[in-house]
């Protein structure tokens, strides 16, 4: 089996990218090659994390819109990522909506990590939403990306219990810890075809 080429997209600190990169570098994901990490935020921690693992780290101008990639900028993203030839694109804290041209360019190859048990609390600030709502169980979800925001087929979920007195910060840390376990394991299962890719 040839190794699965993975490209990671993120906008933030990159703790999930780090979990993936560290699992690859320690040999836990032997069939995975992380070819590049892209960010729409020039000084995002995720780019420094990638550099720390000697993985190609690229800031690309996201264009004029705040919440999506569109137009010329979107074309540039498609072209650059296309040159990396990814088998899988992982959205690890990427805070923009991907539109049909991008989705079609990488059809059935994009997964997203979301910090709630979907379909509860889609969209932005999911951890705050669940904290404010007072749920007693939350968690994280990994799903295939389609045109519906946070609406694609669910691949895996991990539950997190909310204890009395948990602050937003504590809950956020617990969800991140769950994400750092489940995301590398899903990528491993995809690379070994334990989890199948959808038909393109
Ligand atoms: C993660 O908690 C991820 O679930 C969330 O952003 C965080 C990124 O953290 N994604 C979303 O909210 C997507 N809507 P990280 O930069 O430390 O990996």
CA angle 103, 105, 111 (to 5 degrees): 45
Residue 1 has pLDDT above 90, yes or no: no
How many whole angstroms separate alpha carbon 133 and alpha carbon 127? 10
Q: For residue range 21-50, what is the model confidence (pLDDT) as tens digits?
A: 999 999 999 999 999 999 999 999 999 999
Q: Tens digits of per-residue pLDDT, 61-79?
A: 999 999 999 899 999 999 9
- Dmax (CA) for the chain in angstroms is 49
Percent of the chain with pLDDT over 70: 100
For 23, 131, 137, 159, the CA distances from 164, given in Å and listed in that order, are 33, 11, 12, 16
Closest CA to 115 of 103, 124, 106: 124
Computed over every residue of the chain, the mean pLDDT equals: 97
Q: Give the integer Cα–Cα distance in Å for 152 and 155.
A: 9
**8 Å CB contact between 31 and 191:** yes
pLDDT band at 164 (very low <50, low <70, confident <90, very high): very high
Mean pLDDT (whole number) for 134-148: 98
- Neighbour tally for 54: CB within 10 Å: 9
Residue 91 in contact with residue 190, Cβ under 8 Å?
Answer: no
- Give Cα separations from 131 to 109, 128, 149, 171, 172 (angstroms): 32, 5, 21, 8, 9
Ligand 1 probe mutation, 9, 43, 92, 128, most atoms within 8 A of CB: 92
Which sign, positive or negative, has the C-alpha torsion 63, 65, 69, 74?
A: negative
pLDDT in tens, 48-60: 999 999 999 999 9
pLDDT at 107: 96
Q: What is the pLDDT of residue 199?
A: 87
Residue 150, pLDDT above cutoff 70? yes
pLDDT at 11: 98
Q: Is 174 left (phi over 0), alpha (psi -120 to 50) or beta?
A: alpha
Q: Is the C-beta atom of 174 inside 6 A of ligand 1?
A: no
Q: Is the pLDDT of residue 160 over 70?
A: yes
Q: Which of 97, 115, 175, 178 to mutate to test the pocket of ligand 1 (most atoms within 8 A of CB)?
A: 115
Average pLDDT (96-112) is 97
pLDDT at 196 over 70: yes
Residue whose tokens read 């769950």: 178
- 131 as an active site residue: the answer is no
User: Quick one: which atom of ligand 1 is closest to the CA of 12?
Assistant: 16
What's the DSSP call for residue 65? -
**Per-residue pLDDT tens digits for 84-98:** 999 999 999 999 999
What is d(CA 170, CA 188) in angstroms, rounded to the nearest whole number? Answer: 28
Q: What are phi and psi of 159, to 5 degrees?
A: -85, 150
- Does the Cβ of 185 fall within 6 Å of ligand 1? no
Instruction: Tell how far CA 140 is from the center of its chain.
Output: 11
Q: What percent of the chain is predicted at pLDDT more than 90?
A: 98
């Amino acid at each position: 089996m040839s190794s699965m080429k993975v490209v990671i997209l993120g906008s933030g600190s990159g703790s999930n990218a780090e979990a993936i990169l560290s699992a690859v570098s320690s040999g836990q994901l032997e069939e995975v090659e992380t070819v590049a990490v892209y960010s729409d935020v020039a000084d995002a921690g995720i780019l420094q994390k990638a550099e720390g693992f000697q993985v190609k780290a690229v800031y690309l101008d996201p264009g004029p819109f705040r919440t999506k990639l569109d137009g010329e900028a979107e074309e540039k993203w498609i072209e650059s990522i296309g040159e990396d030839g990814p088998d899988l694109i992982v959205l690890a804290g990427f805070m923009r909506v991907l539109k049909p041209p991008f989705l079609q360019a990488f059809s059935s190859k994009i997964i997203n990590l979301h910090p709630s048990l979907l379909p509860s609390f889609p969209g932005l600030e999911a951890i705050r939403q669940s904290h404010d709502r007072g749920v007693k169980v939350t968690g994280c979800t990994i799903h295939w990306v389609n045109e519906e925001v946070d609406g694609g087929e669910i691949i895996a979920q991990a539950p997190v219990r909310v204890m009395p007195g948990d602050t937003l910060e504590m809950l956020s840390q617990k969800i991140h810890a769950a994400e750092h376990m489940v995301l590398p394991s899903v990528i491993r299962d995809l690379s070994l075809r334990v989890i199948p890719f959808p038909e393109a």
